[in-house]
C-alpha cells in the first residue's frame, strides 16, 4: 500500500485499540506526504527538530475542506473552529510569537509550582472520595467512576469555579474535547454544537471574571483577571476567556486518558502493578513511561511558514504538518525495545507533553493527578482484573483513550 494513505488508517476508528503497527509503517518514511497534501512526521529526530523550528506555525489550522456556500452567515456557522475560535478567540495553543509568549507569560505567572503543590491534598481527597463511592461493588467503571470526574473538579478548583457549577463544566468539557478531533470538524452538527458550547462557556466566564474583579480570591482566574499596573499590563477580556476555556479543554480529556491508559497498562502488566503498589515512590517513573508508551495526545497539527528540509525531505511553505508524537515515542532509533512497557528505562525523553514553545503548561499538575490516582487505585482495589481487553475506545484519534474501563474487583 502506498504510504500516502496511511494516515487515513490512523484516523479510522477500527484501528483505535492498537494504532502502533500503523505508526511503525509510517516511520519507514519519516516525512510522509498524504493524499490531502498534509505531511505526517513520525520519527523521534524529525519531530524533535520541527518542534524547535520557528518556521512551523500553530496559527493556521488545517483548512476547512468545505467550499464557500456564497452565504457568509452559513459559512461562519459551519466553520466555527476556523472562523470563531481560531480567528476571534484564539487561545495561546493556536498562537505564534510574539503573542503566544505574552499570553503564556500571563498563564505561567499564575500556574506556579506553589499553586500546583497546594492542590496535592485536594487531589488526594477527591481520589479517596471517588474510590469510596465504589465500596460494595464488584465492578469499577474507571472512566465514569474516577478518571472523568477528577480532572474537571481539579481545574474548577484551580480556576476558582464555584463547586455548584462543576457539573455544567463537566458537560462543556466533554463537548469541546470531541470538537477538537479532525473528524468532528467535518461534521455539521458537531460544528454547530461547538459554537453553542463555546458561546455558553464564554458567557459564563465573562460573568465569573466580572465577579472575580469585584471580589478577588486566591485562585488562578482572580490572578489572571487582575487590573494592569505600570509593570504588568492587564490581560484583555477576550484573551482571558480564551485562556480559561483552553485550560479546561487542554487539562481535562488529556488527564482522563492518562489515568485510564495508565490503569489499563498496569492491569496488562500485573508485575508492574504489584511493584507500584508495594513502592509508591516508583510512581514518577511509571508516569513518565506511560507518557511515552500510551500518550494521551497522539498528534498535533502545524503549518509551515517557509520551505523546511527535514529527514531528507522538503516540506513546502504553507503545507499542513502532523507531528505524530505517539509514533516518535516508539521510535526504535531512539528507544531500545520501544514496544515494551519499562518504567526502569533510562532517559525517557518522550513527546507526551509536546515540546519546544508549546510544551504543556499543565504538565506538573497532570503528573500529580496521575500519580495520586494510580497509586491509590493500585493500593485500594483488591484483586483488580480487566473485564474486556481491549476495552471500547472513543472515536478520537488524537486525544485517544478508552470510552470506559471495566475492572472486576474483590472489594476496596
Ligand atoms: C499544551 C499534553 C494536561 C494545559 C499541551 C501539548 C501537549 C499537552 C502534547 C502541546 C500542544 C502542541 O504542541 O500543540 C497534555 C497531557 C496532559 C495535559 C498529556 C495530561 C496528562 C494539561 C493540564 C493543563 C494543560 C492539566 C492545564 C490545566 C495546556 C496548555 C497548553 C498545553 C495551556 C498550551 C501551551 C502553549 O501553547 O504554550 N499539552 N496536557 N495541559 N497544555 Fe497540556
* Tens-level pLDDT at each residue, the chain (412 residues): 445 789 999 999 999 999 999 999 999 999 999 988 999 999 999 999 999 999 999 985 544 444 445 444 444 445 544 444 444 468 899 899 999 999 999 999 999 999 999 999 999 999 999 999 999 999 999 999 999 999 999 999 999 999 899 889 888 877 776 665 555 555 677 777 777 888 888 889 889 999 999 999 999 999 999 877 777 788 888 889 889 888 988 898 899 999 999 999 999 999 999 999 999 999 999 999 999 999 999 999 999 999 999 999 999 999 999 999 999 999 999 999 999 999 999 989 999 999 999 999 999 999 999 999 999 999 999 999 999 999 999 988 999 999 999 999 999 9
3 state DSSP class of 189: helix
Cell of 51: 518542534
CA distance 315 to 292: 26
Cell of 112: 506556579
3 state DSSP class of 331: coil
For the Cβ of 258 lying below 6 angstroms from any atom of ligand 1, the answer is yes
3 state DSSP class of 40: strand
How far, in Å, from the CA of 265 to the mean position of ligand 1? 22
For the Cβ of 255 lying below 6 angstroms from any atom of ligand 1, the answer is yes
The DSSP result for 111-147, as a single string, is S-HHHHHHHHHHHHHHHHHHHHTTTT-SEEEHIIIII
For the Cβ of 252 lying below 6 angstroms from any atom of ligand 1, the answer is no
Residue whose CA is closest, atom 1 of ligand 1? 360
**305 to 54, 93, 255, 319: CA distances (angstroms):** 8, 17, 32, 8
How far, in Å, from the CA of 154 to the mean position of ligand 1? 15
Q: Which residues of 294-303 are buried (b: 16+ CB within 10 A; e: fewer)?
A: bbbbbbbbbb
Look at the block and give the residue holding cell 503528573: 367
Cell of 309: 528540509
User: By the 8 A CB rule, do 326 and 320 touch?
Assistant: no
pLDDT of residue 74: 47
pLDDT of residue 226: 87
How far, in Å, from the CA of 358 to the mean position of ligand 1? 8
3 state DSSP class of 54: coil
For the Cβ of 300 lying below 6 angstroms from any atom of ligand 1, the answer is yes
For the Cβ of 297 lying below 6 angstroms from any atom of ligand 1, the answer is yes
User: By the 8 A CB rule, do 399 and 299 touch?
Assistant: no
For the Cβ of 92 lying below 6 angstroms from any atom of ligand 1, the answer is yes
CA distance 277 to 260: 17
For the Cβ of 321 lying below 6 angstroms from any atom of ligand 1, the answer is no
User: By the 8 A CB rule, do 249 and 336 touch?
Assistant: no
pLDDT of residue 181: 59
Residue from 353, 373, 374 to probe ligand 1 pocket by mutation (most atoms less than 8 Å from CB): 353
Helix H or strand E segment including 280? none
Q: Which residues of 11-25 are buried (b: 16+ CB within 10 A; e: fewer)?
A: beeebbeebeebbbe
pLDDT of residue 84: 46
pLDDT of residue 127: 98
Residues 6+ apart with CB under 8 A from 397: 10, 11, 13, 16, 19, 181, 182, 183, 298, 299
Atom of ligand 1 nearest to the CA of 356: 13
3 state DSSP class of 170: helix
How far, in Å, from the CA of 313 to the mean position of ligand 1? 29
ipTM of the complex: 0.99
What is the dihedral sign for C-alpha 131, 134, 137, 141? negative
SS3 percent helix, strand, coil of the chain, rounded to 5, is: 55, 10, 35
Global confidence as pTM: 0.92
Phi/psi of residue 308, nearest 5 degrees:
-130, 125
Residue whose CA is closest, atom 34 of ligand 1? 93
CA distance 377 to 375: 6
Amino acid at each position: 500500500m502506498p504510504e500516502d494513505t496511511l494516515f487515513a488508517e490512523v484516523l479510522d476508528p477500527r484501528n483505535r485499540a492498537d494504532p502502533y503497527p500503523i505508526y511503525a509503517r509510517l516511520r519507514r518514511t519519516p516525512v510522509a506526504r498524504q493524499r490531502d497534501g498534509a505531511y505526517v512526521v513520525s520519527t523521534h529526530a524529525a519531530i524533535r527538530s520541527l518542534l524547535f523550528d520557528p518556521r512551523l506555525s500553530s496559527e493556521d489550522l488545517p483548512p476547512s475542506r468545505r467550499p464557500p456556500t456564497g452565504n457568509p452567515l452559513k459559512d461562519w456557522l459551519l466553520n466555527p473552529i476556523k472562523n470563531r475560535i481560531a480567528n476571534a478567540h484564539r487561545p495561546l495553543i493556536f498562537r505564534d510569537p510574539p503573542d503566544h509568549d505574552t499570553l503564556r507569560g500571563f498563564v505561567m505567572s499564575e500556574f506556579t509550582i506553589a499553586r500546583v503543590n497546594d492542590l496535592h491534598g485536594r487531589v488526594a481527597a477527591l481520589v479517596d472520595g471517588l474510590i469510596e463511592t465504589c465500596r460494595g461493588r464488584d465492578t469499577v467503571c474507571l472512566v465514569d467512576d474516577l478518571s472523568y470526574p477528577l480532572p474537571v473538579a481539579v481545574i474548577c478548583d484551580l480556576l476558582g469555579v464555584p463547586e455548584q457549577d462543576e457539573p455544567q463544566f463537566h458537560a462543556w468539557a466533554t463537548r469541546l474535547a470531541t470538537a477538537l478531533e479532525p473528524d468532528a470538524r467535518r461534521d455539521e452538527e458537531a460544528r454547530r454544537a461547538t459554537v453553542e458550547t463555546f458561546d455558553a462557556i464564554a458567557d459564563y466566564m465573562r460573568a465569573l471574571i466580572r465577579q472575580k474583579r469585584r471580589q478577588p480570591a486566591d485562585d488562578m482566574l482572580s490572578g489572571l483577571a487582575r487590573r494592569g499596573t505600570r509593570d504588568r499590563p492587564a490581560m484583555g477580556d477576550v484573551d482571558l476567556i480564551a485562556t480559561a476555556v483552553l485550560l479546561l479543554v487542554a487539562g481535562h480529556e488529556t488527564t482522563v486518558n492518562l489515568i485510564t491508559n495508565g490503569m489499563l497498562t498496569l492491569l496488562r502488566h500485573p508485575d508492574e502493578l504489584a511493584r507500584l503498589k508495594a513502592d509508591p515512590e516508583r510512581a514518577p517513573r511509571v508516569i513518565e513511561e506511560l507518557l511515552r508508551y500510551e500518550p494521551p495526545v497522539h498528534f498535533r497539527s502545524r503549518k509551515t511558514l517557509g520551505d523546511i528540509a527535514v529527514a531528507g525531505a522538503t516540506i513546502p511553505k504553507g503545507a499542513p504538518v502532523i507531528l505524530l508524537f505517539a509514533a516518535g515515542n516508539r521510535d526504535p532509533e531512539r528507544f531500545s525495545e520501544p514496544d515494551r512497557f519499562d518504567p526502569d528505562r533510562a532517559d525517557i525523553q518522550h513527546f507526551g507533553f509536546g515540546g519546544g514553545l508549546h510544551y504543556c503548561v499543565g504538565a506538573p499538575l497532570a503528573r500529580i493527578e496521575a500519580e495520586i490516582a494510580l497509586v491509590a487505585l493500585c493500593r485500594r482495589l483488591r484483586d483488580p482484573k480487566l473485564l474486556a481487553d481491549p476495552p471500547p475506545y472513543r472515536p478520537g484519534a488524537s486525544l485517544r483513550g478508552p470510552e470506559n474501563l471495566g475492572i472486576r474487583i474483590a472489594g476496596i
